[in-house]
Amino acid sequence: MAIQALKEIGKGNVAESEMQIILKQLAKEEPFRLEHDIRLAPEWIRIIMRKALKDKINSLNWKFKLQFPSTI
């Protein structure tokens, strides 16, 4: 759905507010689904989706660290 929304808006026409909405929606997706969809998207959309994937992975890592703090 995000890919279609971005295609409709068009390359170079994505406002910051729209970008934040799209990134927020992509953050709800499972990382493996984002990885799959990235392969199908045009390059300019892949860049946006990779940012969402990176943010998602960082978020999951942070949650993991909170659940299992290092004992060292």
Number of domains in the chain: 1
Q: What is the pLDDT of residue 27?
A: 87
Q: Is residue 72 part of a domain?
A: no
pLDDT digits (tens, 9 = 90+) for 47-63: 999 998 898 888 877 66
Q: Which domain holds residue 25?
A: 2-67
Structure confidence at residue 34 (pLDDT): 87
Residue 23 class from Cβ within 10 Å (0-12 exposed, 13-18 middle, 19+ buried)?
Answer: middle
Instruction: Give the number of other Cβ atoms within 10 Å of residue 38's Cβ.
Output: 17
**Is 40's pLDDT higher than 80?**
yes
Which position has the higher pLDDT, 66 or 45? 45
Classify residue 48: in a domain, yes or no: yes
